[in-house]
Amino acid sequence: MSKICVLGAGSWGTALAILLCNNGHDVTVWSIDPEEVRMLKENREQRDKLPGVMVPSTIEFTTDMETGLIDAELVVCAVPSPFVRSTMKNASAYIQAGTIVVDVAKGIEENTYKTMTEIIEEECPQAKTGILSGPSHAEEVGRKIPTTIVAGSHDKQVAERIQDIFMNDVFRVYTSPDVVGIEIGGSLKNVIALAAGMVDGLGFGDNTKAALMTRGITEIGRLVVAMGGHIETLAGLSGIGDLIVTCTSKHSRNRNAGYLMGQGKTYQQAMDEVKMVVEGVYSAKAALELARKHNVSMPIVEAVNQVLFNGADAREASMQLLLRDRTSESENLEWKA
């Protein structure tokens, strides 16, 4: 049994806390929101974000970060990506040297264009870092629906320790050393999912969405390789696997927000209606800046930015993608004649 602290009591943090508790670990969940902690203590249910999933009585909830983190052998960073830096800055004082910090947020920081593990390494240099990513909606993990995910770390022993702690008969965990590929794949699929939702909101069909997803993973692959990651990762769980579920599922906040934007709402109106942090909105600008920095073509990401921040019409942006100059599908394949 390990002592584990989950930072963040939203849907994903709560679902993972339940999973870890059921795996036999001693789990404490921290939240910055006293009302959220009170609700979880009294009702044993995350009624706002994970209704119908009961929380075991042995899971502790607290607003005191020190209480949650003291002597923790593993820390799960489950706050939304815009709050990872501030949370880990505050947590660092209570995290012991060698403690594993597992990021489960997906995003790229605005202004710095850093990934979540890079932020954790900056704010908690004494910790060992890892990441969990893949097609894994909290609504399904909380109900023990079979799920497969990947644990990434530069340190093989760290990845295997994460694998051991999280894996059970309905939650299968693979390992990978390609942290860059996992993080960029997990972050940018949210941007592509916004576009997929717009396609649905505009009333386009399956053909359109399939094309968007396929070209989307191609764009992500270009950036991953340019940043030192591996294209094989994008054929896996944190690439095409996560992209499929995020672009198509009723649980996807990014797809749902995109749908509302396709119907004419602004991104702020869409986020207000979804009632959860839509991480693709925060990653879109950073993704475009990374594409420019690495001289990578990402027309879908650029179109999403135009709709989000420059007032472009979603239908017109979609049509502009179709009207671009003709080209081949695979740039690296050679003709025999």
Q: Which residues are catalytic?
A: 189
Residue linked to tokens 């990506």: 81
Among residues 263, 264, 243, 241, the alpha carbon closest in space to that of 254 is found at 243
Distance CA 174, CA 195 (A): 29
Distance CA 28, CA 325 (A): 54
Tokens of 141: 């993990």
| Cβ proximity of 46 and 33 under 8 Å | no
| Cβ proximity of 190 and 283 under 8 Å | yes
Distance CA 15, CA 209 (A): 29
Among residues 133, 299, 175, 154, the alpha carbon closest in space to that of 229 is found at 154
3-state helix, strand, coil in the chain (%, to 5): 55, 15, 35
Tokens of 282: 């925060």
| Cβ proximity of 78 and 13 under 8 Å | yes
CB neighbour burial string for 296-328, b if at least 16 within 10 angstroms, e if fewer? bebebbbbbbbbbeeeeebbebbeeeeeeeeee
Distance CA 194, CA 212 (A): 11
Q: Which long-range contacts (CB under 8 A, 24 or more apart) does 328-336 make?
A: none
Among residues 174, 126, 114, 130, the alpha carbon closest in space to that of 150 is found at 174
Rg (CA), the chain: 20
